[in-house]
Amino acid sequence: MTRKGRRLVLIGAGLGVLALAAGLILSALNDTIVFFRSPTEVAQRLVEPGARLRLGGLVETGSVTRAGTLTTFTVTDGNAVVKVAYSGILPDLFREGQGVVAEGVLQPDGSFKADSVLAKHDERYMPREVADALKQQGVWKDGAPAPGAASPAPRAPGS
């Protein structure tokens, strides 16, 4: 085998090993990725039952019921609602009418079994998709900055 031939074989083997490593990394990452979905996407059956996902929206007023450590509530984006069941201690900021992101598994009946709940104190920290859906429904509070926008700096007294 000539020198050029050995070099081509070595380069080809190196590229093959690199492609195998990239494939293994992407496969491992695919198992840990959790997609964010809105209640509308869940209600339209764009997500299969058993899928692990993050569900975000507003906790619907009057929907929270507690029985020991089990809490059930509905999450809405103004278009659709999804019933959520969570067993555990809820964050201090969790309450009706506030933003929430629940991570868990979609059940075959369309409900959502959460294993973690994150409470958001207002829409500024809500994912853009949910905030856009709330704006379209007219639920977005006036004067609230767009998601991702910087808050205005406080003014000095007398200015």
pLDDT in tens, 115-128: 999 886 655 556 66
pLDDT in tens, 52-104: 888 888 888 899 999 988 999 999 888 888 999 999 888 888 888 888 889 99
* Residue 41: φ, ψ to 5°: -65, -40
- E-strand ranges in the chain read 35-37, 52-59, 65-67, 70-76, 81-87, 99-106, 112-120
**Distance (Å, rounded) from C-alpha 80 to C-alpha 112?**
14
pLDDT at 84 (0 to 100) = 93
pLDDT at 149 (0 to 100) = 41
Question: For residue 133, is pLDDT > 80?
Answer: no
pLDDT at 87 (0 to 100) = 92
Q: Comparing 151 with 23, which gets the higher pLDDT?
A: 23
**Distance (Å, rounded) from C-alpha 55 to C-alpha 75?**
8
Q: Which residues contact 17 (CB under 8 A, 6 or more apart)?
A: none
pLDDT at 137 (0 to 100) = 66
Question: For residue 135, is pLDDT > 80?
Answer: no
pLDDT in tens, 6-17: 999 999 999 999
Question: For residue 132, is pLDDT > 80?
Answer: no
pLDDT in tens, 15-57: 999 999 999 988 887 666 667 788 888 888 777 888 888 888 8
Question: For residue 159, is pLDDT > 50?
Answer: no
